[in-house]
């Protein structure tokens, strides 16, 4: 179990004079920023005259900060008169006599933030904070690491602890075989492998599937493959005619079905789909500056959990997807959201007769046709000015105060902790409520909903029923649980128990369609959770997404040469594979963080990333396009938009063909051998780097020769 990391961020002010009414700030002075209770200090210069600015990079979290100096006229700190929360772009007065008080600010999205100290403000010194827009990505060179050297000839390695003398072993990558003699085997790595040998018994048969060795292919449905152009723009959704950053782009379930053979060839034994349920119909303003219309193409802004969003397909499409995936040995995992519903939009207001527009609001007859008037300096946030957020209509016709907390009139206000906050301003379900409720007004007024009012149901009871109905009806094999730390642990236990029962019922009724007799599986997203076990595993989670590997430089080092992963491989195998109730899902790219390829745009490094990730103990998650070097999408003031580009199918027959072929080889080897993810790890030699993985009768040896001279 790893301790939380200390975050070191701060800024230095040099020779800074303030108005005579305030104390003179002398050097050295710095802005100290601490995440939660883990305080640390660094220094970076403020720049400017009168308004001094400093930029710091912040991860998600709550930060406390103050200025400090050795020679203040009153105390040694420079902060607020009383503890005060900072609102973005809002100047807050600074006192030179604040000794025990901090400013605080809550960061929801990681990125660069600019702190401005204004020494010419009307009220004296004042400080404000704003998020800096993303700049165009800079392609970097990966750090130099020691991979060892290889002369290009055959590689000899001692395999006596795994294979017997006289045993015939095969390199899965090249297909060549060799006999073990004197405890050693000698083979020539293929040119395409980059010095990699994947050794197995020559007569080895594929292992039975185990979630401990899961290889999960993560697909953002709208951005993967368009199999049916007729469903591209329901609900009057439309293109923006520009970068299409936040619009639906046509990917659907039929498109995934068309690519199941491709996914199988990658050795993937599960696919994870972003939420498939019906999304809010309209758009909100995208990014801090409202630079684009932002629809729920990603699936996380639900309107009706009982209906499939028509942009993604039909119920028949979903049924066929599960059937065809199971035929290929691929399980289907869908993303579920128990924490929040989607934002209110103009289209949904009009559709569900929420009469909360301001009088004479300049919107067209079809409200969702509204566009900002750029000549007047408007952006996509502007429509918010036309809505009466204090109207009683929101309580009467939207989700209702028994269902969600919100800042709108008639609702419970959001709290300040993970459970009761409105994450990113989204309406937060009252999952802690024990009140018996009927259907929310918006669904009562929705003619095609499948939601049924139940006697004695709480909010959680409805959410659990709605989510597990997909399992009971279609045989969904698992859930990826979104925003886990924002929902009570007991809720996840209830969801898991209900889904487990639902899948068992479906398998009993559909024995010819069931892929196996494994129980329902659930993996959780606990933001920034690392490689350790905690109470979530006692509350429904079979695995958690591991943010550690991708969050550090380790993934880059492991991609350059897998010997850099030895300590991590040994630790993960020891911690995970000796505990039947503990597993992780490790990744290098995701929709919420970054693309591995985006930082370096290096196909050779992307090839090595397959080795580092796919040979990882525990489960692994491949984000669509990791295997093909999918380029990042357009930069915007929404930090995650570049990670959600459309799949680069047109490049697969060009310079990406060899890259995909390499991922296929290593992925198939992993899928064939449960020992890779679930076995005991042992390093056999340092040069060439070699290790074994053994689980029961399944035995493999991986050899990496190093960089070729």
For the annotated catalytic residues, the residue numbers are: 482, 525
Q: Are 331 and 477 in contact (CB under 8 A)?
A: yes
Structure tokens at 574: 């020891």
Residue 679: half-sphere exposure toward Cβ, Cα within 13 Å: 25
* Cross-strand partners of 620: 215, 586
Query: How far apart are the C-alpha atoms of 128 and 118, rounded to whole Å?
Result: 8
User: How many Å separate Cα 513 from the centre of its chain?
Assistant: 31
Nearest Cα residue to 478 out of 413, 425, 543, 432: 543
Helix (H, G, I), strand (E, B) or coil at 598: helix
Number of C-beta neighbours around residue 205 at 10 A: 10
Query: How far apart are the C-alpha atoms of 647 and 537, rounded to whole Å?
Result: 34
Helix (H, G, I), strand (E, B) or coil at 685: strand
Residues whose CB falls within 8 Å of the CB of residue 500, separated by 6 or more in sequence, listed in order:
519, 520
DSSP states of 495-536: HHHHHHHHHHHHHHH-TTT---SPPPEEEE--TT--S---GG
Peptide bond just before 574 cis, omega within 30 deg: no
Query: How far apart are the C-alpha atoms of 536 and 490, rounded to whole Å?
Result: 10
Number of C-beta neighbours around residue 512 at 10 A: 6
Q: Are 267 and 292 in contact (CB under 8 A)?
A: no
Query: How far apart are the C-alpha atoms of 109 and 575, rounded to whole Å?
Result: 31
Number of C-beta neighbours around residue 552 at 10 A: 13
* Cross-strand partners of 64: 34, 104
Q: Are 502 and 540 in contact (CB under 8 A)?
A: no
Q: What is the dihedral of CA 557, 561, 566, 567, to 10 degrees?
A: -20
Structure tokens at 246: 């936040």
Q: Are 272 and 290 in contact (CB under 8 A)?
A: no
Residues whose CB falls within 8 Å of the CB of residue 40, separated by 6 or more in sequence, listed in order:
6, 7, 8, 9, 34
Category of 195 on φ-ψ map: left (φ > 0), alpha (ψ -120 to 50) or beta: left
Helix (H, G, I), strand (E, B) or coil at 688: coil
Structure tokens at 48: 């400017």
Helix (H, G, I), strand (E, B) or coil at 209: coil
Greatest alpha-carbon span in the chain: 89
Query: How far apart are the C-alpha atoms of 648 and 628, rounded to whole Å?
Result: 7
């Amino acid at each position: 179990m790893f301790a939380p990391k200390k975050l070191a961020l701060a800024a230095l002010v040099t020779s800074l004079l303030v108005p005579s009414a305030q104390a003179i700030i002398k050097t050295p002075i710095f802005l100290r920023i601490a995440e939660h209770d883990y305080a640390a200090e660094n220094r970076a210069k403020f720049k400017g005259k009168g308004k001094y600015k400093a930029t710091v990079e912040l991860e998600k979290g709550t930060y406390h900060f103050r200025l400090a100096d050795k020679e203040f006229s009153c105390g040694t700190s420079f902060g607020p008169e009383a503890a005060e929360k900072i609102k973005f772009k809002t100047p807050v007065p600074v006192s030179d006599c604040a000794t025990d008080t901090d400013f605080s600010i809550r960061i929801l999205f990681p990125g660069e933030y600019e702190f401005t100290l204004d020494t010419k403000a009307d009220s004296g010194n004042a400080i404000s904070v704003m998020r800096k827009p993303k700049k165009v990505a800079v392609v970097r060179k990966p750090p130099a690491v020691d991979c060892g050297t290889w002369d290009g000839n055959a590689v000899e390695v001692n395999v006596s602890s795994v294979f017997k003398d006289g045993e015939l072993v095969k390199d899965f990558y090249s297909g060549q075989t060799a006999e073990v003699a004197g405890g050693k085997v000698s083979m020539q790595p293929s040119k395409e492998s980059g010095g990699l040998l994947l050794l197995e018994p020559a007569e080895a048969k594929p292992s039975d599937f185990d979630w401990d060795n899961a290889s999960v292919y993560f697909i953002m449905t709208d951005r993967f493959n368009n199999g049916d152009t007729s469903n591209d723009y329901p609900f009057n959704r439309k293109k923006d005619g520009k970068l299409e950053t936040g619009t639906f782009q046509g990917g659907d379930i039929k498109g995934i079905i068309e690519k199941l053979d491709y996914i199988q060839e990658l050795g993937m034994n599960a696919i994870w789909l972003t939420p498939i349920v019906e999304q809010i119909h309209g758009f909100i303003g995208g990014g801090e500056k409202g630079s684009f219309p932002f629809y729920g193409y990603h699936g996380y802004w639900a309107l009706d959990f009982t209906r499939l969003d028509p942009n993604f397909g039909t119920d028949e499409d979903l049924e066929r997807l599960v059937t065809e995936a199971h035929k290929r040995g691929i399980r289907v995992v869908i993303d579920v959201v128990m924490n929040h519903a989607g934002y209110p939009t103009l289209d949904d207001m009009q559709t569900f007769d929420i009469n909360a527009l301001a009088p004479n609001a300049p919107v067209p007859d079809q409200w969702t046709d509204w566009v900002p008037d750029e000549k007047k300096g408007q952006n996509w946030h502007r429509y918010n000015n036309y809505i009466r957020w204090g109207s009683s209509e929101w309580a009467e016709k939207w989700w209702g105060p028994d269902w969600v907390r919100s800042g709108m009139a008639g609702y419970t206000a959001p709290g300040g902790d993970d459970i009761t906050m409105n994450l990113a301003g989204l309406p937060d379900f009252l999952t802690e409520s024990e009140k018996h409720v009927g259907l929310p007004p918006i669904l009562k007024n929705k003619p095609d909903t499948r939601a049924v009012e139940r006697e004695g149901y709480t909010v959680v009871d409805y959410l659990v029923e709605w989510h597990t109905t997909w399992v009971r009806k279609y045989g969904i094999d698992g859930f990826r649980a979104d925003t886990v730390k924002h929902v009570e642990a007991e809720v996840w236990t209830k969801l898991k128990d209900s889904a487990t029962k639902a899948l068992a019922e479906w398998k009993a009724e559909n024995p010819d369609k069931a892929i196996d007799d494994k129980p329902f599986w659930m993996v959780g997203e606990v933001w920034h959770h690392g490689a350790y076990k905690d109470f979530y595993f006692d509350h429904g989670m079979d695995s958690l997404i591991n943010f550690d590997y991708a969050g550090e430089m380790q993934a880059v080092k492991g991609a350059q040469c897998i010997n850099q992963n030895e300590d991590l491989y040994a630790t993960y195998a020891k911690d995970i594979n000796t505990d039947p109730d503990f597993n992780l899902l490790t990744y290098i790219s995701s929709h919420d963080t970054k693309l591995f390829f985006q930082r370096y745009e290096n196909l050779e490094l992307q090839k090595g990333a397959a080795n580092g990730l796919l040979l990882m103990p525990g489960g692994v998650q491949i984000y669509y396009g990791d295997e093909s070097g999918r380029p990042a999408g357009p930069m915007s003031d929404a930090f995650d938009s570049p990670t959600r580009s459309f799949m680069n199918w047109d490049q697969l027959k060009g310079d990406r063909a060899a890259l995909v072929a390499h991922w296929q080889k290593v992925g198939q080897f992993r899928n064939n051998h449960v020992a890779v993810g679930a076995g005991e790890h042992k390093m056999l030699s340092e040069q060439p780097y070699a290790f074994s993985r053994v689980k029961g009768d399944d035995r493999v040896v991986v050899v990496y020769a190093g960089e070729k001279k």
